[in-house]
Structure 1
């Protein structure tokens, strides 16, 4: 069985009930989530041996996060315990023309205070086939940016495929900082994953005739973007999710993939959103799964896009779906009819 290692931060997620605003809330729903943890859980649901690496405080909140990962069969044996706190993020769900809102409370979290000596990458990558992280992780501290570089170098020494979801977060670092560090990391990346904005924000490579804020997406422009990333850094695969935002409640969603020779594009979905957090992570996990299962690149992209589409219908960060459910959608069963 394939072994996938993911590395990043898992946080406590606090959300007002339903569509209440922060200012209306007198209680919060409690969940856990984080980009790389979301990927690990998706892959574990698909039957992949998934290992999540992070640093978590030695208290009950940290243990609750670990217990959540274990609930979904993610290997937590290499998680480092220590530090003062688990990061928190507050999530207010948008609706119609009101966008969702996120407030972070993650300063001085355990993982952001991690040191290079916390992680034994030679041991972690023993028997591993794939390593995944996102641009969020190196943004958490200067030390973590170096840890990510070290991890990528070690992965290459162990012949492990490396994937990175750019996941630019303006609340964590500037575009200048992101460009500097990610430019150093990208030569180690085999599979680069991004959304409509990430490549522009991090590398200044913009799709022509596209205005994300106005919901105008020029798909052909992203073919050029993917090719430029491939040519600049030598990634074997560049994949971009493409979202046309009609409102906070309704989007059109598709993607593209470039392998150095050919552009692939799956079907486009019209989605009504229950919870969009984790949609990109679900895409990443689906793509990793398809490639590990030796699917064609077209089928891998169809699987990844369908997986992300389904995630938008699920509360919380995690994509709690099966391979069969994703395949049913990717092969055309998208009516939502009751299954008896």
Structure 2
């Protein structure tokens, strides 16, 4: 029987300009569906786990289309509530070279933003589950979504479920001050936290020394200090940090750091020519969860998570459509990109 993981959050319709066009040029948009926790669930289903995604979708044909898209990847959607006004939308203009990507949200009053306590039977949802994952995007959507996150975390702890959170600060959704207040109330329930170069600073004011994310200079020692401070502040069992050196919108160096309260584990670094970076952090989170649930060593855990997310950067859309074997082959050093015959 496969291991059960529950994720909770918002999934949206993604409307993207074709062929790197700017918004002012576009006469059409390509449609996909995605969102942090849904992306993690799909990755984990691809890895062979029993992945359950919980959200609220409008009770209309667009809601049906979104649910069916998730289901086709093998994700359990039976606990998705139906109702509310609409599905959230976000528009993407993909950057290239020195031009950054741009995202515009249209998600006010989405079904999950207006969901209330009672929409979800958490006790039933967590039956047989081993892991629960959410991101900092979900409590940022609305005050009621933040309350649901807290409700879910408490239920997960009562059920003996391990809880992970990707901080995922979004400045277009809330301020650092509100993020600090809300996320600080959720962190006591979290066992494993995931952050990037900016999250720990923007949410909790914990800055990595000798680091300038704009220039692409990241200090390993600075992030080791960030990990220690996070553990001291909240008592996390593990802290994982993605390290993105943005050389341009098209080329990034990508690696990761894992701290288990005793030692630090740094992955190898990948130089990536990016196809689509949206969902890169989610694929890292999924790789981390899969590795920890399957008893990988700490070094193999961070290597698997980084390799999985490296591959995601080569795939269009929000989700990471790779297998465990493909990730392991890259971990072993096969990054040639040669045709597999």
User: Partners of 2:225 and 2:156 in 1: how far apart?
Assistant: 29
User: Partners of 1:97 and 1:13 in 2: how far apart?
Assistant: 23
- Structure 2 residue aligned with 1:277: 278
- Structure 2 residue aligned with 1:104: 105
Deviation at 1:172, TM superposition (A): 0.7
Superposition TM-score, scaled by structure 1 size: 0.99
User: Partners of 1:233 and 1:85 in 2: how far apart?
Assistant: 36
User: Partners of 1:80 and 1:247 in 2: how far apart?
Assistant: 40
1:168-203 deviation line (CA, Å, top 9, x unaligned): 001111000000011111011000001110010000
- Structure 1 residue aligned with 2:52: 51
- Structure 2 residue aligned with 1:90: 91
Q: For 1:1-340, list aligned pairs within 5 A.
A: 1-340=2-341
Unpaired segments of 5 or more residues in structure 2? none
User: Partners of 2:218 and 2:295 in 1: how far apart?
Assistant: 31
User: Partners of 2:111 and 2:55 in 1: how far apart?
Assistant: 9
Unpaired segments of 5 or more residues in structure 1? none
Superposition TM-score, scaled by structure 2 size: 0.99
User: Partners of 2:234 and 2:208 in 1: how far apart?
Assistant: 18
User: Partners of 1:284 and 1:59 in 2: how far apart?
Assistant: 31
Deviation at 1:18, TM superposition (A): 1.4
1:34-79 deviation line (CA, Å, top 9, x unaligned): 0000000000000000000000000111111100001100000000
1:268-296 deviation line (CA, Å, top 9, x unaligned): 00000000000000000000000111111
| Alignment size in residue pairs | 340
Deviation at 1:331, TM superposition (A): 1.2
After the TM superposition, which parts of structure 1 deviate over 6 Å for at least 4 consecutive aligned residues?
A: none
Report SS of the residue matched to 2:39: helix
| RMSD over equivalenced CA pairs, Å | 0.6
Deviation at 1:143, TM superposition (A): 1.2
1:114-166 deviation line (CA, Å, top 9, x unaligned): 00111111011010000000000011111111111111111010000000000
User: Partners of 1:179 and 1:232 in 2: how far apart?
Assistant: 13
Between stretches 129-138 and 211-220, larger displacement belongs to 211-220
Deviation at 1:216, TM superposition (A): 1.4
User: Partners of 1:277 and 1:269 in 2: how far apart?
Assistant: 17
Report SS of the residue matched to 2:214: helix
Deviation at 1:231, TM superposition (A): 1.0
User: Partners of 1:75 and 1:294 in 2: how far apart?
Assistant: 24
Report SS of the residue matched to 1:13: strand
Report SS of the residue matched to 1:112: coil
User: Partners of 1:190 and 1:18 in 2: how far apart?
Assistant: 41
Between stretches 155-164 and 215-224, larger displacement belongs to 215-224
